[in-house]
Amino acid sequence: MNVAEIFIRRPVMTTLVMLGILMFGVMGYRLLPVSDLPNVDFPTILVSASLPGATPETMASAVAMPLEKQFSTIAGVDSMTSSSSTGFTQITLQFNLSRSLDAAAQDVQSMIAKAARDLPQNLPSPPSYQKVNPADAPILYLSLSSRTLRLSDVDEYAETLIAQRISMVSGVAQVSVYGAQKYAVHAKLDPKALASRQIGIDEVTTAIQNGNVNLPTGTLYGAHQAFVVQASGQLKKAIDYEPLIVAYRNGAPVRLKDLGSVVEGVENDKTASWFFDNKGLRRAIILAIQRQPGTNTVEVVDSIKALLPSFRTV
């Protein structure tokens, strides 16, 4: 005897069972929750550009406006918003649901290249874009700290290794660094020393730039062999900057150490982040990870957590 035979021999029971399933199905359908504003991930792309020292008005007119003119020609753009601050501009593009995020990213990239001729020539780097909605909260935070290493060393490990590797995970839009402590060398100049020698800050800047270069030196060709000349012109420590010659006065060289002090530190010592655990409050480098619109949050987090053991072995 099989299951189908029971229903074939008892048609009345079969009819009642089907009517019961239909009735409970209609009742369950009517009780399903309905949201007037459902959570929908629209394809969103964030474009950012930087020009150190520029005012918000300059960033809006010289950087944001040329980009917005090109972005307005992209098909499927529902909304476009931009914000400009000192030396920085962000443009958020939201597309309709019919557009593929990857295809929209290709259109944005082509429009950035098309607008390059209208942008300021002194931009340190071309505008970049990320497939991320700036309104979305990070899905995962990673905290890095050390009791033996400097925070600048921890920051370099976080940005050059961990952040880049996590960015390659499918579904990750961008990895932001909170409390960044990038290593830097600071030249603290004495105004009196500059004035007494009639040296401007621009001369000091030029001397530092010319003295810290990493360019190919050349090749020596012989009758039977060729030799590549290698010379390291990069200065990595504060003590390496002190002998730099800034200018000549009365036939004598004026070195950087004669105009002030050169110290090691971080690029921006006005930002910091802390992490609290069972060992107390301590300084840390925080990585905030955001997902791409339309991706599964749980799958992205699980993929990131699977990478964590490999970072501990480095």
User: How many CB atoms within 10 Å of residue 259?
Assistant: 26
Cα–Cα distance, 77 to 281 (Å, whole number): 45
Domain 37-134: which CATH number of 1.20.140.10, 3.30.70.1430, 3.30.390.10, 1.10.10.10: 3.30.70.1430
Q: Outline where the chain has alpha helix (H).
A: 3-9, 11-30, 56-58, 65-71, 101-115, 151-157, 163-167, 191-197, 201-211, 238-241, 297-312
Domain 136-182+267-314: give its CATH code.
3.30.70.1320
Give the residue-averaged pLDDT of 207-236: 81
pLDDT score, position 14? 87
Give the residue-averaged pLDDT of 85-109: 91
Give the residue-averaged pLDDT of 194-202: 90
For residue 147, report the phi and psi dihedrals to the nearest 5 degrees. Answer: -95, -5
Residue 189 pLDDT class (50, 70, 90 cuts): very high
Residue 293 pLDDT class (50, 70, 90 cuts): confident
On whether the 184-266 domain is CATH 3.30.2090.10, my answer is yes
Residues of the chain with CATH 3.30.70.1320: 136-182+267-314
Mean pLDDT for the chain? 87
Residues of the chain with CATH 3.30.70.1430: 37-134
Residue 90 pLDDT class (50, 70, 90 cuts): very high
pLDDT score, position 285? 93
Residues of the chain with CATH 3.30.2090.10: 184-266
pLDDT at 131 over 60: yes
pLDDT score, position 63? 93
Handedness of CA 206, 207, 208, 211 (dihedral sign): positive
pLDDT score, position 39? 63
Q: What's the pLDDT tens digit per position in 24-65? A: 998 888 887 765 556 677 889 999 999 888 899 999 999 999
pLDDT score, position 34? 67
